[in-house]
């Protein structure tokens, strides 16, 4: 995470694309700038470590075709208000 704006929102960055996401599902985890989170459709689902984040991103990139670009485009459009 690059910014925690309040207990229920944070800004995350994936491959240079930054978006605000909901952290409602992680209340009470004491999230902080620098934490890694697994994000799906605008929600931070769980905290993960940096190694798991790198492996997950690499796996998505290896799916082939335009899968990664499609997921990144979806991410860039899924900002939570």
> Domain containing 22: what range?
3-76
Q: Identify whether 49 is part of a domain.
A: yes
Q: Is 81 contained in some domain?
A: no
Domain for residue 40, yes or no?
Answer: yes
Q: Is residue 23 part of a domain?
A: yes
Residue ranges in 1-81 assigned as alpha helix (H): 50-62, 67-76
**Is residue 43 assigned to a domain?**
yes
In whole angstroms, give the CA distance from residue 48 to residue 66: 25
pLDDT tens digit at each of 81 positions of the chain: 899 988 899 999 987 888 899 999 998 888 999 999 998 888 999 999 999 999 988 887 887 767 677 777 776 666 666
How many domains does the chain contain in total? 1
Residue 9: helix, strand or coil by DSSP? strand
CA 15 – CA 60 distance, rounded (Å): 12
Any domain includes 48? yes
pLDDT in tens, 44-59: 999 999 999 999 888 8
Rounded distance between C-alpha atoms, residue 76 and residue 31, angstroms: 22
Q: What is the pLDDT of residue 81?
A: 61
Q: What contacts 27, CB < 8 A, 6 or more positions away?
A: 7, 8
Per-residue confidence (pLDDT) for residue 42, from 0 to 100: 87
Which CATH number belongs to the domain containing residue 51 in this structure?
2.30.30.140
């Amino acid at each position: 995470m690059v910014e925690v704006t309040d207990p229920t929102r944070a800004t995350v960055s994936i491959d240079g694309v930054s978006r605000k996401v909901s952290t409602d599902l992680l209340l009470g985890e004491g999230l902080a700038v620098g934490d890694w989170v697994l994000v799906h459709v605008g929600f931070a689902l769980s905290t993960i470590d940096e190694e798991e984040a790198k492996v997950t991103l690499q796996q998505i990139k290896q799916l082939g075709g335009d899968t990664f670009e499609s997921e990144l485009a979806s991410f860039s459009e899924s900002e939570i208000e």
